[in-house]
Amino acid sequence: MSIINSISLWLIPAIIGFILLYGTFKRIPTYETFVEGGKEGIKISFSIIPFLVGMLVSISIFRASGAMEFFINLIRPALEFVGFPAEVAPLALIRPISGTAALGMTTDLIATYGPDSFIGILASTMQGSTDTTLYILTVYFGAVGIKKMGDALKVGLLADLVGIVASIIVVTLIFG
């Protein structure tokens, strides 16, 4: 175990050192290149902020207005019919939008039902099997100016749906 700890402590500094030495060997102005990259990173950060704020405000309004609860109660009979716990449905809805909100929901589900419960295991599996598709499209595509994201949206949401369904099937087969 101490070998893995030693490797993990020295790996990043070793990679950075290698890059600096390689750049110097190739006669690339490494410090100036680093500074230019930092400037570009700050510009990208500032261009992402409006998209990030818009996304976070939208999520907050959706949750605080009671719209999410209303929607979950509306589809509860269908969820129960297919064996999907309605308690996990908000996670399935929020996960493609916000990773932080989904992590908070997963934490609440685990605190309420326990980490070894069916709901806790399903929430954890779903958290790891899906991605923040809408967040990625809004923030990153918006930052680089991609306007046509219809195909990426379809594929991303389909992948999220597959992750949700696979989570339900796997957790039900193994722990159900």
Q: What is the tens place of the pLDDT at every residue in 14-23?
A: 998 998 899 8
pTM above 0.85, yes or no: no
Residue 153 above 80 pLDDT? Answer: yes
Q: What is the tens place of the pLDDT at every residue in 27-47?
A: 999 888 888 988 988 887 787
Residue 155 above 70 pLDDT? Answer: yes
User: DSSP letters of 88-135?
Assistant: THHHHHHTTT-HHHHHHHHHHHHHHH-TTSHHHHHHHHHHHH---HHH
**At a CB cut-off of 8 Å and minimum separation 6, what does 72 contact?**
86, 89, 90, 93
